[in-house]
Amino acid sequence: MSVTNQQIVLNIRFKTIPGKKEEFRTQLSSLIQVMSVEKAFISAILADDLDQPDDLVIYEIWQGTRDSWLQEEFTKPYRKDYEGILGELIEDRSVSWLEPMGEWGSMLTKALK
């Protein structure tokens, strides 16, 4: 990924097929392990939604922009297998692209307070 001071946050909600949540969590955790060594990777947090028991949410921070992420990260070969199994494990996925503008309590982003 090109050198930039910009950062992008992906907030992704997955609605798993009932009974498939743990299988999906295993697949997603494997993907996170692989992507976590990418040069542009900063952090990822995986969470269960307490109010929606079939939902998992991941919050990823990456160096770069939405366009650079789509061009350079989404096209990685290891993502092809992962994307190929999603239809068997999830009902829906929604992605929010965010730009950090402030941060308190950590220094993961370069957002000004």
* Sequence ranges of the domains in the chain: 7-95
Q: What pLDDT, on a 0 to 100 scale, did the predictor assign at position 105?
A: 86
Q: Give the bridge partners for 13, in sequence order.
A: 57, 94
Q: What pLDDT, on a 0 to 100 scale, did the predictor assign at position 1?
A: 40
Mean pLDDT, the chain, rounded, equals 92
Mean pLDDT calculated for residue range 75-98? 94
Q: How confident is the model at residue 55 (pLDDT cuts 50, 70, 90)?
A: very high
Q: What pLDDT, on a 0 to 100 scale, did the predictor assign at position 3?
A: 45
Q: What pLDDT, on a 0 to 100 scale, did the predictor assign at position 50?
A: 97
3-state secondary structure of 97: strand
Task: Tell me: pLDDT of 112 over 80.
Answer: no
- Asked if 90 and 14 touch (Cβ cutoff 8 Å), the reply is yes
pLDDT tens by residue, 8-45: 999 999 999 999 999 999 999 999 999 999 999 999 99
CA dist., res. 22 & res. 26, Å (int): 6
The backbone torsions φ and ψ at residue 73, rounded to the nearest 5 degrees and listed phi first, read: -95, -45
User: Looking at the domain that runs over 7-95, which CATH code has it been given?
Assistant: 3.30.70.100
pLDDT tens by residue, 70-83: 999 999 999 998 99
Mean pLDDT calculated for residue range 81-108? 92
